[in-house]
Amino acid sequence: MSDTRILFGFHAVNGRLRRRPDSVYEIYLDAGRRDARARDLLKRAAEVGVRVTEVDSSRIGRIAGSAKNQGVAARVGVLEPRAGIEDIIEQAREPVLLLVLDGVQDPHNLGACLRVADAFGAHAVIAPKDRAVSLTASVAKVASGAADVVPYVQVTNLARTLQQLQEAGAWIMGADQTGESGLADCQLEGPLAWVLGAEGGGLRRLTRDCCDRLVRIPMQGSVESLNVAVAAGICLYESRRQRRGAMALNSRTSGL
């Protein structure tokens, strides 16, 4: 069915069961699994009325299209497209916080980026349509449910999108080890978009030129760069830390 897709892995399947059980049509579970994770999944599926079919591990692999499926796969409905960037900014109840990925092509890195975006409250992840991975079953597995809750917006022209974000009042911060500013020296309380480059190549020249500021993450060890998901987590965490501090200060000041 063209309006369905396959999820696999316990985190991805459980995440969809929790958030949108009505969109889960059938679950396939390795008949050889009798552990606590399998029992919890069976219990949750029964509670929401989703059928679980026990099959052998080889069939799970064929359904999932991956050997790294943890013995579970699900046929789910394709969710309606999420709102566009303008709607996301307008609906945000605080200064918008976005993660922009400049051509990330590894599904595991995208999944991890979605996971940290969810953990630190990013309102969306933005990426170009070309030279970037889409939301595959492998991405959803690594994202551990975050692919269903964090909008992933793929755009035709990334440079034009960054300019539109600037016009909307967002500050564009490029994470780059050649940046003139250290992460701790930046004020991150207002609306902003963090832009991170692809594996190995970093930010493309045109993308760098669109940034208001290039920011480096202080490194004390011997490695020269970080995995894109790790770097995204550090940048988003620092943004949240500063915002919490600003909110606490405003709260104390208003009580004087």
pLDDT digits (tens, 9 = 90+) for 191-205: 999 999 987 778 999
**CA 176, 208, 213, 242 torsion-angle sign:** negative
In terms of DSSP H, where are the helices of the chain?
A: 10-19, 36-48, 57-64, 85-91, 107-119, 137-143, 158-167, 205-210, 228-254
Task: Give the 3-state secondary structure of residue 79.
Answer: coil
Q: Is the pLDDT of residue 119 over 70?
A: yes
pLDDT at 91: 81
Q: What is the CA radius of gyration of the chain?
A: 20
Distance CA 90, CA 42 (A): 40
- CATH 3.30.1330.30 given to domain 4-77: yes
Q: What is the pTM of this model?
A: 0.76
Domain with CATH 3.40.1280.10 in the chain: 85-251
Q: Is the pLDDT of residue 225 over 90?
A: no
Fold of 85-251: Alpha/beta knot (3.40.1280)
pLDDT in tens, 60-80: 999 988 888 999 999 998 776
Domain with CATH 3.30.1330.30 in the chain: 4-77
Burial class (CB in 10 A: 0-12, 13-18, 19+), 79: middle
% of the chain exceeding 90 in pLDDT: 63
* 211 torsion bin: left (phi>0), alpha (psi -120 to 50), beta (else): beta
pLDDT at 1: 46
Q: What is the mean pLDDT of residues 227-253?
A: 82
pLDDT at 246: 62
pLDDT band at 82 (very low <50, low <70, confident <90, very high): low
Strands 171-175 and 97-102: unpaired
pLDDT band at 123 (very low <50, low <70, confident <90, very high): very high
Q: What is the mean pLDDT of residues 129-138?
A: 88
% of the chain exceeding 70 in pLDDT: 93
Q: Is the pLDDT of residue 81 over 80?
A: no
pLDDT in tens, 141-193: 899 888 888 999 999 999 999 999 999 999 999 999 888 899 989 999 999 99
